[in-house]
Amino acid sequence: MSAQSSTKDLILAIDCGTQNVKAAVFNSSGKVLSLSNYALKPNSSPETRFVEHDTEDYWEKTREAIRNTLKRLGAAKAKRLRAVGLTAQRGTVIPVDEKGKPTRPAIHFSDTRKVEGLEKLGGFWGLLFKIAGLYTAISYVREHSWYTWIKRNEPEIYEKTSIFMQVASFLTYRLTGEIAESTGNMVGMFPFDHGKMKFYSQKGIQEIFGVSPEKLPPLKTPSSIMGSITKSASKATGIPEGLPVVTCGGDVQSAMVGMGVIEENSAGMVLGSVNSLVVPSKKHLKDKQMRFISWAAGVPGYYILETGLKAGFTTVSWFRDEIAREESEIARKSKKTPEEVLDEKIRNIPPGSLGLFVQPYWNPPFHRDDWARGLIMGFTLAHTKAHIYRAMLEGMAFESREGLESIEKISGAKVREMPVSGGGSKSDTGLDIMANVMGIPIVRMQVDEASALGAAICAAYGTGLFTTLQEGVEKMSHRAERFEPDPARKEIYDKVYRTYREIYSRVSDLYRETSDLALYD
């Protein structure tokens, strides 16, 4: 414990994720004293490829979660709050006017709309990116720029928009009245130079992204104080007026801090709606195949090399709701989760699920083509839905292994264990599969809410309760169960993995055809 902190000091952490908003109060040892979880409204899809969200829902659910958490905590303990830590989903864009009022629904990070009718990028910038081997990546950015899309299709909205915020900066504004963004939240289509940790000044690059820095929030380093709770925000949420608000970075960046993954040769994985595997690096590294992407970390001076699946355990939720309804009913009656019931059924199924494969591309990952789709192959009459479920977990593990191998090859990192958090980390069988596929120990964290914990650690450090971020991690982040790989099972999975890696290249053309055949209203 540092001289600045006290065992009585408490931190309120807010984590506005993809499906839920969580508000938690931690003490300086990392113990959760109060927690509330409010589900966000479902996203809307007004057109094919469009994914949008009611912006006010982010604030309303955040406000409700905070009020309920503080009510459970009690007025006496609420007086011991010293700071607010904030983290949120990354890449969702929220256009607001000069008064901070949304000008249209938020464009969700999973939105894949395209800008039609673009001319090919030529001239100086086109030549430069071709020489650098980045022409394909830059073309993707141009085609998927939501700013350009709004400018072309909703020009009146673009003119009314003063700032394009993200969820974290939008909530920061509602809580403090200040407009600011953490560099650790710069994930997605922004004219941000990760190598220099600042916006690009070149007009040509800004035009490629479709937005200039004047229309984006000013940047601050992770763990900076963004502002203080205003009188109106205090009335709306119950947070004491004047309390400092600190943003660590995006939810994945914050989760890495919460799991103690803050140095090179370490790694962590978030098994949530989106599966993210991260290796910290002091260098901004790039992969031309986009098997991983390098973003600013929640730790100043570091980057995260991130790989994963855009539809991670969302795929499991789909399976639970569409196929495993019987198991869901059994779970309800037995007061278990559907995943616990399914885990019991797959525990004794051998590795490889009797030759059944699931390629979990329910939402295509960045390193695959836009037309990549989910695939289940290898059925026989011996297979049951339990085999599908196990093969689904195996498919996600294979994707994690492939992503980690690409990061290690390019970065030179050597990862020896993998702490995990998120809803998927609650599955013993799932973590056992992950350990045997990847061949390294998988470690479950003591506190499941790693993003909220990371936000709390950053807030404690940013307000001087700890002298270093490392001290905060040592005091507040703790590990629990450890899942070791079994050599015999790993040997089997090595063979299955080699086959799995062949699937995409052999069926990618068919994915394109099935995508073209899809019928939409």
pLDDT in tens, 214-228: 999 999 999 999 999
Sign of the Cα pseudo-torsion (296, 298, 302, 303, in order): negative
Residue 110 contacts residue 37 (beta carbons within 8 Å) = no
The letter for the amino acid at 95 is P
pLDDT of the residue at 66: 98
Q: What is the per-residue pLDDT across 6-54, written as a single tens digit (0 to 9) for each? A: 679 999 999 999 889 999 999 999 999 999 999 999 999 999 889 999 9
Confidence of residue 5 (pLDDT cuts 50, 70, 90): low
Q: What is the per-residue pLDDT across 341-385, written as a single tens digit (0 to 9) for each? A: 999 999 999 999 999 999 999 988 888 888 899 999 999 999 999
Q: How many CB atoms lie within 10 A of CB 292?
A: 25
Residue 513 contacts residue 371 (beta carbons within 8 Å) = no
pLDDT of the residue at 428: 93
Pairing of strands 52-53, 81-88: unpaired
* Dihedral angle computed from the Cα positions of residues 358, 360, 361 and 367, in that order, rounded to the nearest 10 degrees: -100
Domains of the chain: 10-259 (3.30.420.40), 311-446+481-517 (3.30.420.40)
pLDDT of the residue at 78: 96
pLDDT of the residue at 137: 78
Helix (H) or strand (E) holding 453: helix 450-462
Q: What is the per-residue pLDDT across 448-471, written as a single tens digit (0 to 9) for each? A: 899 999 999 999 999 999 999 999
pLDDT of the residue at 1: 45
The letter for the amino acid at 343 is D
pLDDT of the residue at 48: 86
The DSSP secondary structure of 368-435, one letter per residue, reads S-TT---EEE---TT--HHHHHHHHHHHHHHHHHHHHHHHHHHH------EEEESGGGG-HHHHHHHH
Residue 53 burial (10 A CB sphere; 0-12, 13-18, 19+)? buried
Q: Which two tokens stand for residue 66?
A: 């905070």
The stretch 56-63 carries a mean pLDDT of: 98
| Neighbour-count burial for 480-497, b at 16+ CB within 10 Å, e otherwise | eeebebeeebbeebeebb
pLDDT of the residue at 453: 98
Q: What is the per-residue pLDDT across 495-512, written as a single tens digit (0 to 9) for each? A: 999 999 999 999 998 888
Q: Is 190 left (phi over 0), alpha (psi -120 to 50) or beta?
A: beta
Closest CA to 223 of 473, 504, 408: 473
pLDDT of the residue at 486: 98
pLDDT of the residue at 2: 53
pLDDT surpasses 70 at 477? yes
Closest CA to 39 of 58, 55, 13, 12: 58
* Upper half-sphere CA count for residue 495 (Cβ side, 13 Å): 10
Q: What is the per-residue pLDDT across 170-205, written as a single tens digit (0 to 9) for each? A: 999 999 999 999 999 999 889 999 989 999 999 999
pTM of the predicted model, to two decimals? 0.93
pLDDT surpasses 60 at 4? no
The stretch 414-429 carries a mean pLDDT of: 94
Q: Helices marked H in 103-164 — which ranges?
A: 123-131, 135-143, 146-153, 155-160
The stretch 246-253 carries a mean pLDDT of: 96
Distances, alpha carbon 171 to alpha carbons 86, 97, 202, in Å: 8, 15, 30
pLDDT surpasses 60 at 434? yes
* Crossing angle for the helix pair 487-517 and 428-438, to the nearest 10 degrees: 100
Residue 24 contacts residue 35 (beta carbons within 8 Å) = yes
pLDDT of the residue at 521: 44
